[in-house]
Chains A and B, each alone.
Chain A
């Protein structure tokens, strides 16, 4: 657990910390444990933290660097922060939150449900049953504000992305691709298979907590007859 992760630069001031290539919940939890610890440390020169599946990227403030450590490569500063984060007492994960998202699977905005039913050789009811049976982990947020990468999707539902992404996927579309599922918080271009629709808002800049979900949360989808 306390083995030092690999640290490589992305830009002059953005540095990637990675914990290995395997996309396991354990690897992701290692990333999020460091993420929480660094948030808790309230480091003055740290401008942004970007946790992903198996990487955590730290973005440093260059003006702070010039004041405090002129000429020092941010990679060394990040290495020290990570060592410090791994040594200090770990912040226990926040109380596990399981957020339920009501989904209408029988909705005009679900153009791929029947197509997948053919392709996967599963009746639509079985796709819905499998999609709602699991509790998913929020591995990361990205792509759009509040877009959750949720996993792992049941193997039987694994289908490739569309060859030609749609120009416009409506907000609230519930989608699957590979071993992942997600929800589009905003209307945007998108290449995932659309199987459901929710009226829950995943992103609202006016809210104090603008995104519904945070990295590490759990999500369940609940089938509802209409929205």
Chain B
């Protein structure tokens, strides 16, 4: 028994926390772009945070359950409904077999996560179930979901859970302020570029996907144009390609790159970047390494408290 894809969205893929351990072979990390949302969805179901879920973009898919399932929706709010009844975010909900899940309106965010108790069942490729579409690796046959795909889950685990919902308050930064630390080639930025990076408004350009998002704003210039030797990049690295438009790398980014790495989005704020859509604006705020490490610690503490059953709210509404 399974979940059936009635109509695919623009880019629905199976994702977990990613394919760590293969970067020396040029294999990208992949995994959920918003790893906080994936963790929350899994933790409210009692799953391990790394369990495989479906990552949806807008337009999102239409899905039909073939058996009852304990599900959780997190990340972007795409106005999810089950047979027309709105589904609350960030909590476990038991849906009956045959329920149809639709996303009716994009309220906020760019990526929604649909998690199921026990996870969607796919074989691990190099230690992960994540899909890397470019290299046809992992997930559902290495590709995005298509009409008629059947996604299996363990039906024996789909029991009603407590009506609690997870607090994400404090998990995402407020006011579209995204923190970064200077990257290894930060010193190569011109004085003006350094000021612009911090004090201008940045907009997500149309040319954005799971590999990275291009920023539109002032063009940034370098002090000199000496060629850089290719070296490692990771999700969150802010690269500056030749045209002067910065690029924030996301989960599917290459393992190495030859453009100056002028900054690095801090781990705690990368989920918020993954929830920005083309046209959204934000500001970059420079922080010290110590501040970044502390913010990362607080971010993981929040998720750990959720895993321990703290930071949950009582919810009077019962599942549909």
Q: Which A residues are closer than 8 A to B by beta carbons?
A: 8-14, 16, 18, 21, 23, 35, 47-55, 57, 59, 61-63, 66, 70-71, 73, 140-147, 149, 185-186, 188, 203, 205-206, 210-211, 214-215
Instruction: Give the B interface residue count (CB, 8 A).
Output: 44
In the complex, how many angstroms separate the beta carbon of A94 from the nearest chain B beta carbon? 14
Rank and list the top 9 A-B pairs by shortest CB-CB distance, nearest first. Answer: A142-B256, A57-B232, A141-B26, A50-B232, A48-B23, A205-B137, A145-B27, A211-B25, A55-B231
Cβ-defined contact, A52 with B23, below 8 A = no
With both beta carbons as reference points, the residue of chain B lying nearest to A8 in the complex is identified as: B184
Given contacts A14-B232, A142-B255, 18 further A-B contacts (CB under 8 A): A12-B266, A48-B23, A49-B24, A50-B232, A52-B230, A53-B229, A57-B231, A61-B20, A62-B267, A66-B297, A66-B300, A141-B24, A141-B26, A143-B230, A145-B26, A145-B28, A205-B138, A211-B26
Cβ-defined contact, B256 with A50, below 8 A = yes
Cβ-defined contact, B137 with A52, below 8 A = no
In the complex, how many angstroms separate the beta carbon of B265 from the nearest chain A beta carbon? 8
Cβ-defined contact, A52 with B300, below 8 A = no
B window 5-29: CB within 8 A of A? 20-29
Cβ-defined contact, B126 with A10, below 8 A = no
Q: How far is the CA of A34 from the CA of B171 in the complex (A)?
A: 37
Given contact pairs A47-B21, A70-B297, A215-B24, A145 touches B135 in the complex (Cβ within 8 A):
yes
What residues of chain B lie closer than 8 Å to A9, measured between beta carbons? 181, 184, 289
Cβ-defined contact, A12 with B25, below 8 A = no
> Which residue of A12, A143, A149, A214 contacts B292 across the interface (Cβ within 8 Å)?
A12
Chain A CB within 8 A of B234 CB:
yes
> Which residue of A13, A73, A205 contacts B135 across the interface (Cβ within 8 Å)?
A205
In the complex, how many angstroms separate the beta carbon of B231 from the nearest chain A beta carbon? 5
With both beta carbons as reference points, the residue of chain B lying nearest to A51 in the complex is identified as: B24
